[in-house]
């Protein structure tokens, strides 16, 4: 499966948000461990996210989402959580639901996602 630049960016933003919620502070090494990616790959991605003004990184290496980055991360994480729950409610195992949701969250249209939220009673 080919990973598109937008999908990769969304995965990194979502990961930063999750780690931030779990631990408070986020460093590149934690992102690499969480995603099981190499340190150079994460370093390059962080550079691109900084250039896009989606994160900031201080001199000690602490990563913070910018307001725009946080909004994007929250949006994709909401999709991930709802899609996972939706699939599990259909009887899909947690592991499969998580994996499928991770792929689906990047391609589902806003219209379809909103209809799923309505169907699930989440507005």
Q: What CATH class does 71-118 carry?
A: mainly alpha
Q: Which fold has domain 5-66?
A: Arc Repressor Mutant, subunit A (1.10.10)
Name the band, by pLDDT with cuts 50, 70 and 90, for residue 1.
Answer: very low
Q: If you search the block for the tokens 């630049």, which residue do you land on?
A: 5
Place of tokens 């990973």: 3
What are the helix (H) ranges across the chain?
5-23, 28-35, 39-51, 67-89, 94-104, 110-120
Q: Would you place residue 123 in the very low, low, confident or very high pLDDT band (cuts 50, 70, 90)?
A: low
pLDDT in tens, 18-62: 999 999 889 999 999 999 999 999 999 999 999 999 999 999 999
Question: Tens digit of pLDDT for each residue in 83-117?
Answer: 999 899 999 999 999 999 988 988 888 898 888 88
Same fold, 5-66 and 71-118: no
Please choose, from the candidates 112, 104, 49, the residue with its C-alpha nearest in 3D space to the C-alpha of residue 81.
104
Cβ pair 46, 103 in contact under 8 A: no
pTM metric for this prediction: 0.84
Q: What confidence tier does 122 reach under pLDDT thresholds 50, 70, 90?
A: low
Between the alpha carbon of residue 20 and those of residues 33, 38, 51, 64, 113, the distances in Å are 14, 20, 20, 8, 25
**Domain locations along the chain:** 5-66, 71-118
Of 2 and 38, the structure prediction assigns the larger pLDDT to 38
Query: What pLDDT, on the 0 to 100 scale, is given for residue 116?
Result: 85
Which residues have CB under 8 Å from 29's CB, separation 6+? Answer: 39, 42
């Amino acid at each position: 499966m080919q990973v598109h630049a937008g999908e990769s960016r969304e995965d990194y933003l979502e990961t930063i948000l999750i780690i931030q919620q779990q631990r408070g502070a986020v460093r590149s090494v934690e992102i690499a461990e969480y995603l099981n990616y190499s340190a150079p790959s994460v370093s390059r991605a962080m550079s691109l996210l900084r250039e896009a003004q989606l994160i900031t990184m201080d001199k000690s290496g602490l990563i913070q989402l910018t307001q725009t980055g946080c909004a994007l991360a929250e949006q994709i994480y909401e999709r991930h959580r709802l899609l996972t729950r939706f699939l599990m409610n259909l009887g899909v195992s947690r592991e499969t639901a998580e994996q499928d949701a991770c792929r689906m969250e990047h391609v589902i249209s806003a219209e379809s996602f909103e209809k799923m939220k309505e169907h699930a009673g989440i507005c």
